[in-house]
Amino acid sequence: MKRIIIAIDGHSACGKSTLAKGLAKSLHYAYLDTGAMYRAVTLYFLDHHIDYNDPAAVEAALQHIEIHFERIEGQNRTFLDGRDVERDIREMRVSEHVSPVSAISAVRRAMVQQQKTMGQRRGIVADGRDIGTVVFPDAELKIFLVADLDVRTSRRHLELAAKGIDAEWEDVKKNLLERDRIDSTRADSPLRQADDAVVIDNTLLSEEQQLEKALALAKERIG
């Protein structure tokens, strides 16, 4: 059967990873969480006290950063330099710095190169901000996900609580707004809807309903 690339883009916490994981599971495809890669770079900079406004320090650090994914007990785990950082990268301290870090061109170049390599065999669902426009412009299916801001805030707040991460609802909302602003206005590969993307607004959809819609689109493309 034909193996395709599915690219999912959208604002922070609009349900991209839930949809991507659901699609990957249903189609037996790999899932590529590109946001986790930018989060892992951010965690590295914070833990190593690297001033990310210093281009030389950023270039030097990028030489040492090794990111990979492993599936452990059915869960996707992000590894940074051999350490499982899946929980650490979701913390608010990382969320607060990840947008400026991911606006740095040297960081993007390094991550996009790895992402393109991971997609070479196709049969992949990737989510992020520039997947349909920059990373996989030839993806057979591009989805641009949209959801109401308060709904996104509540979903992210619940998700953090489930992981045992305590955060104020208002702080979560402010962080989403600020990331949306930086991610959409940066000079290098800003978040934007690809011309050939299909928009799905999931504000009033359940996880099952959005998966059903996306699966129907994927099956059309697979043929």
Smallest distance from ligand DC to CB 223, Å: 28
Residue 12 found at the interface with ligand DC (CB under 6 A): yes
For ligand DC, the closer CB: 181 or 219: 181
Between 152 and 181, how does the x/- string for binding to ligand DC read (CB under 6 A)?
Answer: ---------------------------x--
Min dist CB 7 to ligand DC, Å, is 10
- 176-215 residues near ligand DC, rule: CB under 6 A: 179, 183
Backbone angle region of 16, left / alpha / beta, with phi > 0 → left and psi within -120 to 50 → alpha: alpha
11 close to 180: Cβ distance less than 8 angstroms: yes
How far apart CA 79 and CA 101 sit, in angstroms, is 18
Q: Is 21 in the site for ligand DC (CB under 6 A)?
A: no
Judged by beta carbon, residue 129 or residue 157, the one nearer ligand DC is: 129
- The window from 35-43, 49-57, 201-209, 215-223 that contacts ligand DC (CB under 6 A) reads 35-43
> What is the smallest separation between the CB atom of 79 and ligand DC, expressed in angstroms?
16
Q: What is the Cα–Cα distance from 36 to 153, expressed in whole angstroms?
A: 19
Q: Which is nearer to ligand DC, 39 or 173 (CB)?
A: 39
Count of residues in contact with ligand DC, rule CB under 6 A: 14
- Interface with ligand DC (CB under 6 A), residue from 21, 39, 142, 173: 39
Residues within window 86-115 making contact with ligand DC, judged by CB under 6 A: 98-99, 102
Contact with ligand DC (CB under 6 A): which of 22, 61, 85, 130?
130
Contact positions toward ligand DC, by CB under 6 A? 12, 34-35, 38-39, 98-99, 102, 128-131, 179, 183
